[in-house]
Amino acid sequence: MLPLQASLRRRILIPVAGLLVTAGLASAAVAFYLARSEANELLDYQLKQLTRVVATGGLAVAAPTPPPNDPEVDTEDDFVVFVWDEHGRLIHRTPVAPEIERPASGYTSLSANGERWRVFSERMGTRQVAVAQRLDLRTEVASAGALQALLPVLALIPLLGALIGWIVLRSLKPLRALSAEVEQRAATDLRPLPEQDLPEEVRPLLHAMNGLLARLDVAMTRQKRFVADAAHELRTPLGALQIQAEMLDGAAEASERGPRARALRAGIARLSGLVSQLLAMARLDAAPASQAVELDLLETVKAAIAELYPLAEARSINLGLTESETVPLHGHPAGLRALFTNLIDNALRYTPEGGQVDVSVRRVNRSAVVTITDSGPGISEEHLERVFDRFFRVDGSGVSGHGLGLAIARAAAEQHHAHIELQNRRDAFGLRASVTFTI
């Protein structure tokens, strides 16, 4: 989870930092432009006001001006004044002022002596007064003012970046704590992960992880119970085989060896059947969903009936289809075969000789229902659910088995998200097993 956190920090901080820098630079550019425009407007206003002061106060207001050759005076910052009489003759010019033609009234930008000047001219009575200022000086003054307005904006960008980084890291602190807890856990510790103090956006993911941990816990518990039960169930037939093998070795007469050899072969057959069912159960528990294919449910049921028909015929049991509809289904061929062969085999085992086992496949609305009905003794109501437990057998039934057939059937049904149900028949003796698929 640590690499995920680092990636999450990058995914948050890099776009936010880019957005912050872009917005900051854009704001700085706008602030610089506005401040410079305001400074230029202020300088234009000064030109206008100074022109009117000179015009109303006479030449004495603008004089005396320092001599242009005075080394102690910086004439670069001076305003220069021009005055023309009613005949258009220049009657006054500041000594440092350039020679210019009489401008039109209002603001004008012109070139003189290789420099750019900003001029404001206004006619006052019989005279025309103009005040000018170097554009280089105006640009310098305006830029200096704009930079002073710009500096706080530029200084704010790294401060905001650091603050956003701190907020993001603080927000991810619960994830770091969760990562540390997960790293320290043992592989068998499947307790739910704590969800408190986590962001709302992370909680759905954590809730799903806790659901997965719960399912893993259930699966591991079932596996542990299965291994323990399997070890217990295998201990008895293996012990019996060992005893039977020893008895066969101890038989001195041929007449004694025959029955003991047959008993040994029967024991091996029972053990082989138990191991086969254990392997079937293990395969169902581990079957991946990617093995599912499109198949015909009716054909799968027919294949299961054909496989068990010799057993029904040997016991004179009438086994056949009473209803049959073609139903396409997305499923696991091996799992469905295990589901139906175990249900039909269970019905045949508990049906007395000469009895009947009916199988039907039909559609019901948006579902497919497979029903196996037998004419056996049925099951007591208290055991209807327990018979699905692994290695559970009803006492006194008189039928040999390992207690795995119905457990395998339920596992196969769960693999296909199907519902399996056992009911005692109301119309006669027997049991009805129904498997419902959603299609």
As a whole number, mean pLDDT of residues 192-211 equals: 80
Contacts of 294 (CB under 8 A, 6+ apart): 328, 329, 330
CA triple 287-291-293, angle to 5 deg: 135
pLDDT tens-digit series, residues 327-361: 999 888 888 988 998 899 889 988 999 999 999 99
Strands 115-124 and 106-112: antiparallel
Q: What is the pLDDT of residue 395?
A: 62
pLDDT tens-digit series, residues 111-149: 887 888 888 988 887 888 889 888 888 888 777 777 777
- How large is the C-alpha radius of gyration of the chain? 50
Domain ranges of the chain: 2-64+73-166, 203-282, 290-438
Q: What topology is assigned to 203-282 in CATH? A: Helix Hairpins (1.10.287)
- Enter the tokens of residue 164: 């956003």
Query: Which class does domain 2-64+73-166 fall in?
Result: alpha beta
Q: Residue 62 — very low, low, confident or very high, per pLDDT cuts 50/70/90? A: very low
Asked whether the predicted pLDDT for residue 434 surpasses 90, the reply is yes
C-alpha to C-alpha distance for 312 and 358, rounded to whole angstroms? 12
As a whole number, mean pLDDT of residues 410-438 equals: 90
Q: What is the pLDDT of residue 340?
A: 93
pLDDT tens-digit series, residues 228-286: 666 655 666 677 677 777 777 776 666 667 777 777 777 777 677 667 767 776 666 66
Per CATH, the homologous superfamily of domain 290-438 is Histidine kinase-like ATPase, C-terminal domain (3.30.565.10)
Asked whether the predicted pLDDT for residue 432 surpasses 80, the reply is yes
Mean pLDDT over the full length of the chain: 79
C-alpha to C-alpha distance for 270 and 400, rounded to whole angstroms? 9
C-alpha to C-alpha distance for 433 and 153, rounded to whole angstroms? 78
User: Taking the model in full, what pTM does it have?
Assistant: 0.50
Q: What is the pLDDT of residue 401?
A: 63
